[in-house]
């Protein structure tokens, strides 16, 4: 087995040889972020990749992110280091359940968070991200009947800031659901000067306790531009790698989960799906050009439409 640095060098060599790029989500391990061509959130990565001439893209994130990449670059080879890297939020909305819900609510438009499968996007009128959801919803007719899914917390926040009464799907991300106000209060006592930042997938009381609420990109930009020195961060702890890299003179404190997966106390909140991406798997998938992402052409045709609509509205 190659040592870490040798493995990183081999991956970069393979990228050059095969005209491939590595896309790394902010929540992947630092070693993967370090060798990536682009680091970002899921939609930004898919859009960046679509702008390049690379023949192969390796999406280091979770399965729906690789699908989004393929939707925006249908003629490219999209590799996914581990097809089992799923997402509790995407899993909380199955296409067949959404189809039934739509049938029960005729006349409603469906707004879906980008954290959904291609099959769910194919049943959607407009896709949103946590960064543009408010802007997109604000542009829809005031009397439009809207279903928002699958993230309940994000939908609830958007209802609050837009004054809408969208019907909310009761889904959520198990990582962001684990944050609690109590842990934030404890950290605030230790770091009274720190700015509290929380992702919009967190529960309403956590968002109410935050000074800055938004997407990963919002939090990152805020940290980079702020003259504050300490930040308490309530999102998946992988983002701290990019925060620390771009703000070396600042301190970032991850909020621990209320209860960890193992039931033991731990200092940060991690997504086990994101952490399924390893250097070895990146190397193997590039070497073997497998596993590749394929999407049923009929589903892909419908799934790309609500993404294009989002891009028009945002
Ligand atoms: S952090 Fe949550 S929303 Fe993001 S991939 Fe993991 S389970 Fe899905």
Distance of CA 99 to the CA centre of its chain: 24
Distance (angstroms) between ligand 1 centre and the Cα of 270 equals 9
Residue with the smallest CA separation from ligand 1 atom 2 is 173
**Is the CA virtual torsion 239, 241, 247, 250 positive or negative?**
positive
The reported pLDDT for the residue numbered 257 is 86
Q: How far apart are CA 236 and CA 295, in angstroms?
A: 28
Per the prediction, the chain carries an average pLDDT of: 96
State residue 22 phi and psi, 5-degree precision.
-105, 130
Token pair recorded at residue 208: 């109410």
For the CA of 27, the nearest atom of ligand 1: 1
Mention every residue, 6+ apart, whose C-beta is less than 8 A from residue 170: 92, 152
The answer to whether 109 and 133 are in contact (CB under 8 A) is: no
* pLDDT tens profile 55-70: 999 999 999 999 999 9
pTM, two decimal places: 0.95
**CB contact set of 109 (below 8 Å; sequence gap of 6+):** 125, 126, 140, 144, 145, 146, 147
**Over the range 66-86, which residues count as b (16 or more CB within 10 Å of their CB) and which as e?**
bbbbbbbbeebbbbbbbeebb
CB 111 within 8 A of CB 136: yes
Residue 237 Cβ contacting ligand 1 at under 6 Å: no
Residue with CA nearest ligand 1 atom 8: 87
CB distance 87 to ligand 1 below 6 Å: yes
- Ligand 1 pocket test, candidate residues 67, 82, 87, most atoms within 8 A of CB: 87
Q: Which of 61, 172, 233, 274, when mutated, tests ligand 1's pocket best, judged by the most ligand atoms within 8 Å of its CB? A: 274
Q: Is the CB of 89 under 6 A from ligand 1?
A: yes
The atom number, within ligand 1, closest to the CA of 273 reads 6
Q: Please determine, for residue 46, whether its predicted confidence score (pLDDT) is greater than 90.
A: yes
Among the listed ranges 92-106, 137-151, 213-227, 255-269, which one has the minimum average pLDDT value? 255-269
The token pair at 217 is 């990109």
Q: What crossing angle do the helices spanning 216-225 and 239-246 adopt, rounded to 10°?
A: 20
**Ligand 1 mutation pick, 25, 27, 240, max ligand atoms within 8 A of CB:** 27
Please work out whether the CB of residue 175 comes within 6 Å of at least one atom of ligand 1.
Answer: yes
Q: Is 124 in the pocket of ligand 1 (CB under 6 A)?
A: no
Beta bridge partners of 156: none
Query: Which tokens belong to 40?
Result: 């970002």
What is the pLDDT confidence band of residue 206, given thresholds at 50, 70 and 90? very high
pLDDT band at 52 (very low <50, low <70, confident <90, very high): very high
Residue 263 pLDDT more than 70?
no
Task: Give the Å distance between the CA of 142 and the centre of ligand 1.
Answer: 31
Q: Beta-strand (E) ranges in 5-76?
A: 20-25, 38-40, 56-60
**Is there an atom of ligand 1 within 6 Å of 72 CB?**
no
> Are the C-beta atoms of residues 212 and 228 closer than 8 Å to each other?
no
Query: Does residue 2 register a pLDDT over 80?
Result: no
Whether 173 is in the pocket of ligand 1, judged by its Cβ within 6 Å, is yes
Question: With bands split at pLDDT 50, 70 and 90, how would you rate the model's confidence at 262?
Answer: low
pLDDT digits (tens, 9 = 90+) for 168-183: 999 999 999 999 999 9
Q: How far is the CA of 173 from the centre of ligand 1 (A)?
A: 6
Instruction: Verify whether ligand 1 is closer than 6 Å to residue 64 (CB atom).
Output: no
Alpha-carbon gap, residue 208 to 194, rounded angstroms: 16
């Amino acid at each position: 087995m190659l040592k870490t640095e040798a493995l990183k060098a081999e991956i970069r060599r393979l990228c050059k040889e095969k005209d491939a790029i590595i896309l790394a989500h902010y929540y992947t391990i630092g070693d993967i972020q370090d060798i990536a061509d682009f680091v970002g959130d899921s939609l930004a990565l898919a859009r960046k990749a679509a702008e390049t001439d690379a023949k192969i893209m390796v999406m280091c994130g979770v399965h729906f992110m690789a699908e989004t990449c393929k939707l925006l670059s249908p003629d490219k080879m999209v590799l996914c280091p581990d097809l089992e890297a799923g997402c509790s939020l995407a899993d909380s909305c199955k296409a067949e359940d959404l189809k039934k819900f739509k049938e029960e609510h005729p006349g409603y438009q469906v707004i879906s968070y980008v954290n959904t499968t291609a099959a769910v996007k194919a049943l959607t009128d407009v896709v949103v991200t946590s960064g543009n959801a408010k802007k997109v919803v604000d542009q829809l007719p005031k009397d439009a009947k809207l279903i928002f899914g699958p993230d309940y917390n994000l939908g609830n926040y958007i209802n609050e800031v837009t004054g809408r009464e969208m019907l909310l799907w009761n889904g959520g991300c198990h990582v962001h659901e684990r944050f609690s106000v109590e842990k934030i209060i404890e950290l605030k006592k230790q770091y009274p000067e720190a700015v509290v930042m929380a992702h919009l997938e967190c529960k309403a009381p956590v968002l109410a306790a935050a000074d800055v609420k938004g997407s990963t990109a919002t939090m990152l930009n805020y940290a980079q531009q702020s003259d504050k020195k300490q930040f308490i961060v309530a999102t998946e702890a992988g983002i701290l790698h990019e925060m620390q890299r771009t703000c070396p003179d600042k301190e970032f404190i991850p909020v621990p989960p209320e209860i960890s997966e193992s039931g033991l106390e731990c200092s940060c909140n991690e997504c086990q799906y994101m952490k399924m991406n390893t250097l070895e798997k990146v190397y193997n998938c590039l070497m073997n050009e497998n596993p590749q992402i394929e999407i049923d052409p009929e589903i892909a045709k419908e799934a790309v439409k609500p993404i294009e609509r989002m891009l028009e509205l945002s």
